[in-house]
Amino acid sequence: MIPVLIFISIVTFGLAHGVPGGPFDTEKKRPPEIRANLEKYYGLDKPIYIQYLNYMGNIITKFDFGPSLVQRGRTVNEIFAAHLPVSAQLGILALLVALLIGIPLGIVAALKQNTFWDYLGMGIAVFGVSVPNIVLGPLLIWIFALALGWFPVAGWGKPSQMVLPSIALGLGSSAIIGRLTRASMLQVIREDYIRTARAKGLTERVIMVRHALKNAFIPVATVLGPMFAALTTGTFVVEQIFAIPGMGKYFITSVTNRDYAVVMGTTLLYAVFLVIANLAVDITYAFLDPRIRYT
């Protein structure tokens, strides 16, 4: 995990600093001495590897991502504190949407395999996978905000403002969960122990709830971690469309403004997040299947 993060930080640092134009290029040209002064203050006059080492040193020893280069006087930690919770909320709500839609969809489709319900469910799943959130967002706005007027078009904070973005972000994942639930349900209900249960004369309801559902959820549970990570780190489009002040929207601005500190910090933080999520999956597998050992 550590070498992974070191590699990521080097690549990001290199890319961010390799882009021409610095954070101090503004429309009103600054006199060179002010520029030099600013660069000195932020340590940008030092050789690039020293800058890198200083930066990483501060993160490791003090968990300090340094000052933002554009938002003068604000630290990257403060920016995270302001914007990350919004993206995390959005990610959690989207995951919730994915579960609430996906699981019932998958179960119904599996239990009524090859009936109208199955096709309907899987049709919805294909819709969810195929319609990108870049289309889904405006579509939801058009129907529910403009035509019906049920929800506001933009913003974040009130529950009513959270509904549309969460659906726009979560629907694609609900399709994945739906398909996954269906597939594992189908696999489980063909297992021997289900047949045994049937043979014992248990009612179908008991069999499904006690035995089938429980086991069918295991593969679903294992994707939740990475899915949550993917949703939280993939909020760019939805935040842009719904004008949500989250980290994704801020990151895009930071790239164009050359706010190296924010770009680096976000990438590192998201990478840690993804690494942990993947690690969690591997550990889960190790528990589930004794033949796999995490080394």
Give CA angle at 252 (80, 44), nearest 5°. 70
137: exposed, middle or buried (Cβ count in 10 Å: 0-12, 13-18, 19+): buried
Minimum CB separation of residue 272 from another protein in Å reads: 9
CB 131 within 8 A of CB 168: no
- Which residues in the 237-266 window bind another protein by CB under 8 A? 237, 240-246, 249, 251-252, 255-258, 263, 266
Two structure tokens written together for 158 = 């009130």
Residue 163: other Cβ atoms inside 10 A: 18
- Which residues in the 35-54 window bind another protein by CB under 8 A? 37-38, 41
Based on the shown chain and the rule CB under 8 A, indicate whether residue 10 belongs to the binding site for another protein. Answer: no
Compare residues 51 and 280 and give the one whose CB is closer to another protein: 280
Based on the shown chain and the rule CB under 8 A, indicate whether residue 207 belongs to the binding site for another protein. Answer: no
Compare residues 101 and 182 and give the one whose CB is closer to another protein: 182
Based on the shown chain and the rule CB under 8 A, indicate whether residue 154 belongs to the binding site for another protein. Answer: yes
CB 145 within 8 A of CB 164: yes
Compare residues 51 and 222 and give the one whose CB is closer to another protein: 222
Residue 87's nearest CA partner among 276, 278, 270 is 270
Cα separation, 206 vs 274, in Å, equals 38
Judged by CB under 8 A, the residue of 51, 120, 226, 286 near another protein is: 226
Judged by CB under 8 A, the residue of 26, 47, 190, 200 near another protein is: 26
- Which residues in the 177-196 window bind another protein by CB under 8 A? 179-180, 182-184, 186-187, 193
What is the separation of C-alpha 142 from the centre of its chain, rounded to a whole number of angstroms?
A: 25
What is the phi/psi pair of residue 63, to 5°? 50, 45
Judged by CB under 8 A, the residue of 203, 218, 283, 294 near another protein is: 218
Based on the shown chain and the rule CB under 8 A, indicate whether residue 222 belongs to the binding site for another protein. Answer: yes
190: helix, strand or coil: coil
Binding mask 108-127 for another protein (x = CB under 8 A): ------------------x-
